[in-house]
Amino acid sequence: MGRQPGWLVTQTGRPAMRSPGRPPIRRDLERAFWVKIAAGMTSEDAGVAVGVSGPVGSRWFRERGGMPLISLDRPSGRYLSFAEREEIALMRARDAGVREIARTLGRDPSTISRELRRNAATRGGKLDYRAGVAQWKAELAARRSTPAKLVVNTRLRDYVQERLSGHVRRPDGVAVTGPQPAPWKGRNKPRRQDRRWTLAWSPEQIAHRLPIDFPDDESMRIS
């Protein structure tokens, strides 16, 4: 017998959340990586420092265009951290109650109760709390839909897309070259999608160039 209609909303208090596929980089891990970069580490050394391989750190840096896409400030204490969610999962596996978990973590029991209900895994037809799933659900729910500048400003969007593609021309048709390609490090089988970055401008380079090309036009700013 299958689930009754509305089962998920009744159990968790929220509708089904569509899976984005492969889990993204954990926010705390990504934040630690960029803090290391800001401290002067290379992308490879920063990757190793946060627990991944050097090539992975290099790929993260390249895929973000050399700049973080998240705030490097630590979240306020009102939000549960991934470490706290891991502790909740371990204590639930030992059949610890809500109040015991709350006392251990120094949190309000209502916070723990809400976390266990809203961010639990539901695929098996019952609520099963897992730290990784809970972190993903919390981060997904925290996102806010705001109109992006590149959606409403077509001139800015065309400017950015042209430079990201690596094919830049001035209004008079003269080609503008992008940054110099980074030297090849001898790694085998690079990602096919990475090839375009050899000619493309990074988001950081584009953001710094906009005030030069449009010094008096505040609408031509990415942020």
Q: Where are the domains of the chain?
A: 7-63, 82-142, 149-213
Give the model confidence (pLDDT) of 182-209 as tens digits. Answer: 566 666 555 555 555 456 677 777 888 8
Q: Look-up: residue for tokens 């979240």?
A: 75
Q: Which residue has the higher pLDDT, 71 or 89?
A: 89
pLDDT score for 127:
80
| Mean of pLDDT over the chain | 77
- From CA 125, how far away is CA 217, in angstroms rounded? 55
- Burial pattern 35-57, b for ≥16 Cβ within 10 A else e, equals bbbeeebebbebbebbebeeebb
Q: Is pLDDT of 181 > 80?
A: no
Give the model confidence (pLDDT) of 110-163 as tens digits. Answer: 999 999 988 888 776 778 898 888 888 887 777 655 556 777 788 888 888 887
Q: Look-up: residue for tokens 């809500």?
A: 98
pLDDT score for 27:
73
pLDDT band at residue 60 under the 50/70/90 scheme: confident
- Burial pattern 106-120, b for ≥16 Cβ within 10 A else e, equals ebeeebbeebbebbb
Q: Which residue has the higher pLDDT, 154 or 69?
A: 154
Which parts of the chain are beta strand (E)?
Answer: 168-169, 175-176
pLDDT score for 18:
60
Q: Is pLDDT of 26 > 90?
A: no
Terminus-to-terminus CA distance in the chain, angstroms?
Answer: 52
Q: Is pLDDT of 85 > 80?
A: yes
Q: Which residue has the higher pLDDT, 23 or 125?
A: 125
